[in-house]
């Protein structure tokens, strides 16, 4: 859903109340090792040439026949978090006043740095506990594409690093219909997941029916049972996802937006991805079927209904230059980290799958 006036009003209500919300959860999930140089923890998705989602499987009509991937790929275990996006944004907002609003999300764990005198604008982490690990929400698809280009170009500070690499922004037009390329460029090092990559990383289990006997789950935590949305254990709750209404637990409104990524460590996909339920609605590379007007987003978000996590039922669409109230991002790559430690993490991705 595009960001409209009611979403803006909801955001301002959120900003006014967020300081009062419960916030202490964790500094970061444990047992992850060190991230790579870009701050990513990767899972390697194998089972090359897996069977797609069978027809008549569950209620996810939009997923039937999807999810087969004929190559191995790395996908970030977490959605993009505040400290990662803040580095990206500050690289450009501090260059000139004209770029002061570059890439600014609607909600994240950062705030304007009042000690900075210009040019442009600089952000710093807010005082919210675990602000660095709060998900980045309400970014546009084109923001995500520029971020992918920036990563591809080794996080350079020149504006040229935003133009191409993963996506050729010179093809972008106003629309609809839009003239944007349908997929990432050959040789891209980082990109936005497509539908098949995302569904496979969330719902396919190479050992679903026994060792080496792959299959699909209805829910993205290696289960056919719907998630229980509630506060995390660190808040004294028994939740499996941040997709819950805080009113049901006598918590201040929008408390769920103060829950950092990884706060539900037992709710991982078979490949070790966190927050596939809750967190943000994740942007995907694909155009909505039959459309050059909207890019797909998928998944539940903090405060939403957990029922939409069933395989394939939660796909929506929004213009590439329009964010939704809760759109976020997860990144895919075929390139291992250059650091030895992170390389070991990438190559050991299969070992990071949650043990059931």
Structure tokens at 144: 């995500």
Selected from 3.90.1530, 2.60.120, 3.90.1580, 3.30.1490, the CATH number assigned to the domain covering 5-15+40-80+135-352 reads 3.90.1580
Average of per-residue pLDDT across 232-250: 93
User: 124 pairs with which residues across the strands?
Assistant: 111
Per-residue confidence at 28, pLDDT binned at 50, 70, 90? low
Q: Residue written as tokens 């990662």?
A: 84
Average of per-residue pLDDT across 167-188: 92
Q: What is the mean pLDDT of the chain?
A: 86
Please indicate whether residue 180 or residue 225 has the higher confidence score (pLDDT).
225
**Which pLDDT score, from 0 to 100, does residue 322 have?**
86
Nearest Cα to 257, choosing from 40, 27, 11? Answer: 11
Structure tokens at 164: 């191409």
**Which pLDDT score, from 0 to 100, does residue 46 have?**
96
pLDDT at 131 over 60: yes
pLDDT at 181 over 90: no
pTM score of the predicted model: 0.87
**Which pLDDT score, from 0 to 100, does residue 16 have?**
36
pLDDT in tens, 187-223: 999 999 999 999 999 999 999 999 999 999 999 999 9
pLDDT in tens, 247-306: 999 998 888 889 999 999 999 999 999 999 999 999 999 999 887 899 999 999 999 999
**Which pLDDT score, from 0 to 100, does residue 12 have?**
37
Per-residue confidence at 343, pLDDT binned at 50, 70, 90? very low
**Which pLDDT score, from 0 to 100, does residue 303 have?**
93
Per-residue confidence at 336, pLDDT binned at 50, 70, 90? low
Nearest Cα to 3, choosing from 84, 105, 103, 90? Answer: 105
Report in angstroms the alpha-carbon separations of 224 from 37, 58, 204: 36, 10, 12
* Contacting residues for 8 by C-beta, under 8 A, at least 6 apart: none
pLDDT above 70 as % of the chain: 85
* Top-ranked range on mean pLDDT: pick from 5-14, 31-40, 217-226: 217-226
Task: Name which of 107-111, 131-135, 145-149, 251-255 the model is least confident about.
Answer: 251-255
Per-residue confidence at 23, pLDDT binned at 50, 70, 90? very low
pLDDT at 84 over 80: yes
pLDDT at 19 over 60: no
Nearest Cα to 276, choosing from 324, 314, 234, 247? Answer: 314
């Amino acid at each position: 859903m595009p960001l409209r006036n009611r979403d803006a009003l909801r955001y301002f209500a959120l900003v006014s109340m967020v300081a009062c919300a419960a916030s202490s959860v964790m500094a970061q999930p444990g047992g992850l090792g060190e991230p790579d140089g870009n701050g990513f923890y990767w899972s390697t998705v194998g089972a090359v040439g897996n069977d797609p989602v069978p027809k008549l499987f569950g209620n996810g009509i939009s997923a039937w026949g999807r999810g087969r991937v004929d190559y191995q790929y790395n996908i970030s275990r977490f959605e993009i978090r505040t400290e990662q996006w803040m580095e990206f944004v500050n690289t450009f907002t501090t260059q000139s006043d004209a770029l002061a609003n570059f890439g600014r999300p609607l909600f994240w764990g950062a705030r304007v740095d009042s000690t900075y005198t210009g040019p442009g604008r600089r952000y710093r982490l807010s005082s919210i506990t675990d602000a660095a690990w709060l998900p980045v929400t309400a970014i546009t698809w084109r923001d995500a594409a520029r971020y992918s280009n920036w990563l591809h170009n080794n996080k350079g500070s020149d504006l040229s690093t935003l133009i191409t690499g993963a996506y050729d922004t010179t093809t972008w037009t106003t629309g609809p219909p839009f003239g944007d390329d349908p997929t990432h460029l050959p040789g891209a090092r980082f990109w936005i997941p497509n539908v098949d990559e995302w569904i496979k990383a969330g719902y396919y289990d190479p050992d679903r029916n026994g060792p080496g006997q792959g299959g699909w789950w209805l829910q993205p935590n290696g289960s056919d049972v719907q998630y229980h949305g509630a506060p995390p254990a660190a808040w004294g709750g028994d939740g499996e996802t941040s997709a819950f209404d805080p009113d049901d637990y006598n918590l201040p409104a929008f408390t769920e937006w103060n829950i950092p990524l990884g706060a539900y460590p037992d709710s991982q996909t078979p490949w070790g991805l966190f927050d596939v339920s809750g967190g943000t609605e994740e942007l995907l590379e694909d155009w909505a079927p039959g459309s050059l007007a909207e890019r797909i987003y998928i998944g539940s978000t903090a405060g939403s209904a957990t029922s939409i996590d069933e395989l394939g039922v939660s796909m929506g669409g929004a213009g590439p230059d329009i964010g939704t109230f809760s759109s976020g991002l997860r990144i895919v790559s075929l390139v291992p980290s250059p650091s030895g430690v992170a390389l070991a993490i990438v190559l050991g991705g299969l070992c990071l799958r949650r043990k059931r």
